[in-house]
A = this chain, B = another copy of it.
Amino acid sequence: MTMLERLLGDRIKGGTLTVILPSSERSSVGSGEPHVTARIHDKKALLELARGPRLAFGELYMDGRITIEQGALIDLLSMVVGANRFEDGGHKGRLKKRFGLLKSLLPRRNDATASRRNVAHHYDLDERLYRLFLDPDLQYSCAYFRDPANSLVQAQEDKKAHIAAKLYLQPGQRVLDIGCGWGGMALYLNRVAGVEVLGVTLSEEQLRVARQRAEEAGVADKVRFELIDYRAVTGRFDRIVSVGMFEHVGAAHFGEFFATCKRLLTDDGVMLLHTIGKYGKAGKPDPFTDKWIFPGYHLPSLSQMMAASEEVRLIATDVETLRMHYGFTLRHWLANCDAHRAEIVALYDERFFRMWTFYLAAAAVAFEHGAMNNFQVQYVRDRRALPLTRDYMQEAEQRYRRPAS
- In the complex, the answer to whether B306 meets A388 with C-beta atoms within 8 Å is no
- In the complex, the answer to whether A388 meets B280 with C-beta atoms within 8 Å is no
- In the complex, the answer to whether B146 meets A388 with C-beta atoms within 8 Å is yes
- In the complex, the answer to whether A313 meets B388 with C-beta atoms within 8 Å is no
A22 at the interface (CB under 8 A from B): no
Nearest chain B CB to A147's CB is how many angstroms away? 8
Q: Interface code A368-389, partner B: CB below 8 Å = 1, 0 otherwise?
A: 0000010000000111101011
Nearest chain B CB to A135's CB is how many angstroms away? 18
Question: Size class of A's contact patch?
Answer: 35 or more
- In the complex, the answer to whether A303 meets B313 with C-beta atoms within 8 Å is no
Complex Cα distance, B257 from A355, in Å, reads 44
For A147, A386, A388, the residue with the greatest tally of chain B CB atoms inside 10 Å of its CB is: A388
Q: Interface code A274-303, partner B: CB below 8 Å = 1, 0 otherwise?
A: 000001110000000000000000000111
Residues of B within 8 A of A382 (CB): 87
- In the complex, the answer to whether B383 meets A279 with C-beta atoms within 8 Å is yes
A391 at the interface (CB under 8 A from B): yes
Residues of B within 8 A of A56 (CB): none
Determine which of B147, B310, B324, B373 lies in contact with A280 in the assembled complex, contact meaning CB atoms within 8 Å.
Answer: B310
Give the nearest-CB partner of A378 in chain B.
B321
A216 at the interface (CB under 8 A from B): no
- In the complex, the answer to whether A311 meets B281 with C-beta atoms within 8 Å is yes
Residues of B within 8 A of A386 (CB): 323
A390 at the interface (CB under 8 A from B): yes
- In the complex, the answer to whether A281 meets B302 with C-beta atoms within 8 Å is no
Nearest chain B CB to A146's CB is how many angstroms away? 6
- In the complex, the answer to whether B318 meets A320 with C-beta atoms within 8 Å is yes
Residues of B within 8 A of A318 (CB): 319-321
- In the complex, the answer to whether B383 meets A313 with C-beta atoms within 8 Å is no
A394 at the interface (CB under 8 A from B): yes
- In the complex, the answer to whether A310 meets B281 with C-beta atoms within 8 Å is yes
Q: A301-B306, A321-B317 are in contact. Are A87 and B279 (CB under 8 A)?
A: no
- In the complex, the answer to whether A383 meets B281 with C-beta atoms within 8 Å is no
Nearest chain B CB to A33's CB is how many angstroms away? 20
- In the complex, the answer to whether A87 meets B313 with C-beta atoms within 8 Å is yes
Complex Cα distance, B330 from A106, in Å, reads 48
A144 at the interface (CB under 8 A from B): yes
Within 8 A of B (CB), among A59-87: 86-87
A89 at the interface (CB under 8 A from B): yes
A145 at the interface (CB under 8 A from B): yes
Nearest chain B CB to A379's CB is how many angstroms away? 10
A160 at the interface (CB under 8 A from B): no
- In the complex, the answer to whether A89 meets B388 with C-beta atoms within 8 Å is no
Give the nearest-CB partner of A369 in chain B.
B383
Q: A316-B319, A388-B325 are in contact. Are A87 and B146 (CB under 8 A)?
A: no
24 A-B residue pairs with Cβ-Cβ distance under 8 Å, sorted by A, are A86-B313, A87-B267, A87-B313, A87-B382, A87-B383, A144-B389, A146-B388, A146-B391, A148-B388, A279-B313, A279-B383, A302-B316, A303-B307, A307-B307, A315-B321, A315-B373, A317-B320, A317-B323, A318-B321, A323-B383, A323-B386, A324-B384, A373-B383, A391-B394
Nearest 8 A/B pairs, CB to CB? A319-B319, A303-B306, A303-B307, A323-B383, A302-B306, A317-B321, A87-B382, A280-B310
A residues contacting B by CB (< 8 A) are 86-87, 89-90, 144-148, 267, 279-281, 301-303, 306-307, 310-311, 313, 315-321, 323-325, 373, 381-384, 386, 388-391, 394
